[in-house]
Chain A
Amino acid sequence: AQSVTQLDSHVSVSEGTPVLLRCNYSSSYSPSLFWYVQHPNKGLQLLLKYTSAATLVKGINGFEAEFKKSETSFHLTKPSAHMSDAAEYFCVVSPKAAGNKLTFGGGTRVLVKP
């Protein structure tokens, strides 16, 4: 079984300040972990993924995430928020097995203030 908890349902930041979105997971398997972003009226876009290579993963648009097995965490960060980062972000876990059913966290809605 697997589950994902996103610790903040809403995060508000000022443009140019750091963004931190927190995610904890549990999985019976050695998981793959993903962050997806959803802009209004758009589909789910892959930001980055962890698949057991480097623990610090770099994604698109300046985002990165660090896999910490001891803390079962996969927090997403960006050093400087941009207005275009306003969106909903989903932390997702998948077993490295056939089928690859994704399990989603509840999402974090990011508001960026000018």
Chain B
Amino acid sequence: EPEVTQTPSHQVTQMGQEVILRCVPISNHLYFYWYRQILGQKVEFLVSFYNNEISEKSEIFDDQFSVERPDGSNFTLKIRSTKLEDSAMYFCASRTGGGVDTQYFGPGTRLTVL
């Protein structure tokens, strides 16, 4: 069964460094998402992406964040200058579109900012 994959599973970085989290959505999916879960808190929506542009973003998704679909398979989340409070589990999700609203999630990347 096709699944969403994410790499790395765990990333440790120093405050102020740039990180790129990578996702490979399910191949025929058209809508892509990033969510995050800070330890002990709810899963929060960050951004949705369709047709090579952001369709919606949350207040969390400020200028330090960017997303890109550099080729036909990868979907990346970049944090330019990480802060301690960016430490969280980051989940990628995708869905087909065409009225089907079920999102399929990857296993997550745990980001630790020191």
| Residues of A in contact with B (beta carbons under 8 Å apart) | 32, 34, 36, 41-46, 49, 51, 90, 94, 96, 98-107
Chain A residue with Cβ nearest B47: A101
A28 to B36 Cα, complex, angstroms: 24
B residues near A36, Cβ cutoff 8 Å: 105
Q: Which of B11-19, B62-70, B72-80, B95-103 contacts A (4 or more CB under 8 A)?
A: B95-103
Contact check: which of A43, A46, A99, A103 meets B102 at CB < 8 Å?
A46
B residues near A103, Cβ cutoff 8 Å: 45
A100 to B47 Cα, complex, angstroms: 11
Contact: A100 with B43, CB < 8 Å? no
Asked if A104 meets B42 with Cβ closer than 8 Å, knowing A43-B4, A96-B101, the reply is yes
Contact residues on B (Cβ < 8 Å of other chain), bracket: 20 to 34
Asked if A49 meets B56 with Cβ closer than 8 Å, knowing A43-B4, A90-B43, A104-B42, the reply is no
Contact: B45 with A101, CB < 8 Å? yes
Contact: A32 with B101, CB < 8 Å? yes
Not counting A43-B105, A102-B33, A102-B35, a sample of 6 additional A-B residue pairs whose C-beta atoms are within 8 angstroms of each other reads A45-B105, A99-B48, A100-B95, A102-B103, A104-B42, A107-B43
Chain B interface helix/strand/loop/mixed: strand
A residues near B101, Cβ cutoff 8 Å: 32, 51, 94, 96, 100
Chain B residue with Cβ nearest A43: B107
Contact: A107 with B102, CB < 8 Å? no
Chain B residue with Cβ nearest A34: B102
Contact: A101 with B56, CB < 8 Å? yes
A residues near B106, Cβ cutoff 8 Å: 43
* Mask of B83-102 contacts with A, CB within 8 angstroms, 1/0: 00000000101010000011
Chain A residue with Cβ nearest B105: A44
Chain A residue with Cβ nearest B46: A101
A107 to B37 Cα, complex, angstroms: 11
A34 to chain B, nearest CB (A): 7
A77 to chain B, nearest CB (A): 21
B residues near A104, Cβ cutoff 8 Å: 35, 42-44
